[in-house]
Amino acid sequence: MTVIRPIDCWFAQEVLPHERELLIVARRLRTGSDEPQDLVQDVFARMLTTEGWSAIANPRTYMLQMLRNIAIDRMRRAKIVDFRHFADADEYDLPDDAPDPHRIVEGRQQMKAFAEALHALPERCRVVFERRRIEGQSPRQIASELGVSLSTLEKRLARAIHLLTRALEPGRAGDASDGAASERLRQER
Amino acid sequence: MTRQGDNPEPVHADDTAAAQAATWLARYQLGTLDEAAFDAWRTADPAHAVAFARAWAMWDRFEAQPASAAQPPLPVRPARRELLRAACAVLAVGIVAAGTSVTRAYAWSSATTALGENKRLRLPDGSMAALNTDSRLSWRFSDRERTFWVERGEVSFALRDGPRAIVQDDGKAIRLSPGRFNLRRRSEAVDLLVLAGSASVTDAGGRLVRADPRLPSLLVSQSTAVVRPATSEQVAGTIAWQSGEILFQDATLGSAVEEYNRFLTRKIVIVDRELASIPVGGRFTSTDPTAFLRAISAGLGVRVSQSNSAYLLTR
């Protein structure tokens, strides 16, 4: 069994970076009580269970369309729109890929957020994360130098991973860069 | 009932999954992972797989882009990490190569409909496809070519501009321009109707046969390719299924029943053979044969009875 599968790498590199934009679109499409996060989560779950994932030429466009389809499907089930709305949704044209400078700025913002989150970690968790991830020390070495058990290491590292993963997730409280991405999307249309 | 706006900081239901994912990844990185238990957890719920991939993305990204310049250069890495990097590097190379060479990772995707089911889908290039009852469409896209295969049933396409589009069938390649098409798979042939754009195929003798809206009907089999005109009624009849209808004009009861049976799990059976040649016409809903059966019963004096598995038509 493989723990990190090719699809996980693909997800990290080609799918997840589009989350912020998907959230913005989801917010706009939303009609009922669904949270935008739920819609995006649904898209991600489908992407991770897609057999033909490696043949998806443009994951961003693909996901924006999928998001729209899921939203329409939910509207249909909620029975709160008539067919004219579907016609409107059909006209909803998807913007093309954004020019690179935007990506770079966003990337920088994210890395800044990440550095801040790393420094905001509880000291004990941050030490374990840095030793394992950055310095590449072996688990035994870390355990013996810190004088703790492997299971304690496990808890601290898990806590660090959890907090850092959350810090990288767009749409969380304190995430201030939504405005910029929203502006970008508006300009593209 | 909407709750939007009254909840400034949404509670994330996937927090539990995220916390569990973090624990699994920590164990993996510390060499204490029970892989079978992990696999059971990951496959139990797509949300688990997403949460784990998220955590992994954070872990992976951190090394890909160091967070700050103050970081010391990376010292010697343990073997496991090299392996991980190698796993992702292979994927990255695959993607880069795919962008520049003839083929991208070449996998077929497909969509299927059951009896009586209709489905519309948007393909990765933005084109639309609609599947009629009991149909199967497969497609495979690369940077240079979009390949389609209608394995069974009937599919309509609204094809966008893009790399050249080919319908593969039994060694034949039908080339489509951007446009709208209806394609029905028959036992020995493909029946293509061009509503907009054009379709062309090379026949067995090497002659190019081309169909467009003025001469819209293209029938392609292993041995021949024939292009024919079609009346607007014939065109309307062909695409009626897209609005959930069946349209019969100058049809016989036999062919109408055959057409209807494509949509029905409980089939219509003509018990008395001479009924099959009675001419019929009309517009009916494809999913429910009640109106159709009532019409032939009242209009043609045909008796309709039901068994568990069929509608029986008798004199």
The CATH code belonging to domain B109-230 is 2.60.120.1440
Extract the runs of DSSP E, i.e. beta strands, from B144-203: 145-152, 154-159, 164-169, 172-176, 179-185, 189-196, 199-202
In the structure, what pLDDT confidence band is assigned to residue A104 with cuts at 50, 70 and 90? Answer: low
Question: Is A1 domain-assigned?
Answer: no
Domain count, chain A: 2
B2 chain-A contacts, CB cut-off 8 A: 32-33
Q: Is B187 exposed, middle or buried (0-12, 13-18, 19+ CB in 10 A)?
A: exposed
Q: Which of A91, A108, A137 is the last residue of a domain?
A: A91
A56 and A110 assigned to the same domain: no
Same-domain status, A70 and A10: yes
The answer on pLDDT for A130 being more than 50 is yes
Residue B55 and residue A166: Cβ atoms within 8 Å?
A: no
Which chain B residues touch A52 with a CB distance below 8 Å?
A: 107-109
Model confidence at A83: pLDDT above 60: no
The residue from A62, A91, A120 where one domain ends is A91
Cβ contacts of residue B26 below 8 Å, gap of 6+?
A153, A154, A155, A157, A158, A161
CB contact under 8 A, B126 and A65: yes
Q: Are residues A151 and A130 in the same domain?
A: yes
Residues counted in chain A: 189
DSSP string for residues in chain A:
--SS-HHHHHIIIIIGGGHHHHHHHHHHH--SS--HHHHHHHHHHHHHT-TTGGG-S-HHHHHHHHHHHHHHHHHHHHT---HHHHHHHHH-PPP-PPPHHHHHHHHHHHHHHHHHHHHHS-HHHHHHHIIIIIS---HHHHHHHHT--HHHHHHHHHHHHHHHHHHHSTTSTT--THHHHHHHHHHH-
Instruction: Give how far B222 is from chain A: nearest CA, Å.
Output: 29
Residues A55 and A84 grouped into a single domain: yes
Based on the domain organization, do A104 and A167 belong to the same domain?
Answer: yes
Strand partners, B129: B121, B157
Q: Tell me if B92 and A138 make a contact (CB, 8 A cut-off).
A: no
Angle (CA) B210 B216 B218, round 5°: 60
Same domain, residue pair A111 and A172: yes
Pairing of strands B128-131, B154-159: antiparallel
Residues A22-44 have a mean pLDDT of: 80
The answer for A 20-39 residues in CB contact with B (under 8 A) is 30, 32-33, 35, 37
* pLDDT greater than 60 at residue A29: yes
In chain B, where the domains are located: 14-64, 78-103, 109-230, 244-314
Domain range spanning residue A165? 100-188
Judgement on whether residues A112 and A181 belong to the same structural domain of the protein: yes
Domain covering B244-314, topology: Phage tail protein beta-alpha-beta fold (3.55.50)
Q: How far is A122 from chain B (nearest CA, A)?
A: 16
A36-45, A106-115, A140-149, B110-119: lowest mean pLDDT where?
A106-115
- One domain for residues A74 and A111: no
Q: State the smallest CA–CA distance between residue A34 and chain B in angstroms.
A: 8
CA dihedral of residues A119, A164, A174, A17 (deg, nearest 10): 130
CATH number at residue A120: 1.10.10.10
Among left, alpha and beta (phi > 0; psi -120 to 50; other), residue A171 is left
Q: Which residues neighbour B208 within 8 Å (Cβ) at sequence distance 6 or greater?
A: B200, B201, B202
Looking at residue B110, what is its pLDDT? 86
Instruction: Give the one of B33, B50, B67 whose C-beta lies nearest to A44's C-beta.
Output: B50
List C-alpha distances in Å: A97 to A71, A188, B5, B146: 22, 9, 31, 20
Q: Of A44-53, A154-163, B112-121, give the range with the top mean pLDDT.
A: A154-163
Window 114-153 of A, Cβ < 8 Å to B: 114-115, 118, 132-136, 138-139, 150, 153
Domain end position, chosen among A27, A61, A91: A91
Q: Which of residues 90-109 of A touch B (CB under 8 A)?
A: 94, 107
| Structural contact between residues B107 and A52, judged by C-beta atoms closer than 8 angstroms | yes
pLDDT-based confidence at A68, cuts 50/70/90? confident
Number of Cβ pairs < 8 A linking chain A and chain B? 176
Identify the pLDDT of residue A107.
61
The residue ranges of chain B whose pLDDT is under 50 are: 1-13, 64-105
Which pLDDT does position A110 carry in this prediction?
67
Computed over every residue of chain A, the mean pLDDT equals 75
ipTM of the complex: 0.81
pLDDT for A26: 82
- Indicate whether A74 and A117 sit together in one domain: no
In the DSSP assignment, the letter for residue B204 is: T
pLDDT reported for residue B186: 84
Chain B hits for A18, Cβ within 8 Å = none
The closest of A106, A75, A102, A107 to A89, measured between CA atoms, is A75
Residue type, B211: A
Return the closest-CA partner of residue B164 out of B173, B176, B172.
B176
CA distance A165 to B55: 6
pLDDT at A87: 37
H or E element in which residue B216 lies: none
Q: Are residues A125 and A169 in the same domain?
A: yes
pLDDT at residue A185, as a whole number: 45
Q: Once rounded to an integer, what is the mean pLDDT over residues A29-47?
A: 81
Closest chain A CA to residue B43: A49
